[in-house]
Amino acid sequence: MALASSAAFVPTASRHGTTSRQTLDAKLDSAVRAALDSGQTVPVVILGHTQLLERLHGLEQFERIHANDDRRKLRREVIADLKRIAAKEQSEF
89 and 72 share one domain:
yes
Assessment of whether the complete model's pTM goes beyond 0.85: no
List, as one string, the DSSP characters of 23-44: HHHHHS-HHHHHHHHTT--EEE
58: DSSP letter: H
User: In 1-93, which ranges are continuous DSSP H helix?
Assistant: 20-27, 30-37, 58-65, 71-89
7 and 36 share one domain:
yes
pLDDT tens for 48-84 read 788 888 889 999 999 999 999 999 999 999 999 988 8
40 and 54 share one domain:
no
78 and 60 share one domain:
yes
The per-residue pLDDT for 41 is: 82
Residue 8 pLDDT greater than 50, yes or no: no
41 lies in which domain range?
1-45
What phi-psi label fits residue 39: left (phi over 0), alpha (psi between -120 and 50 degrees) or beta?
left
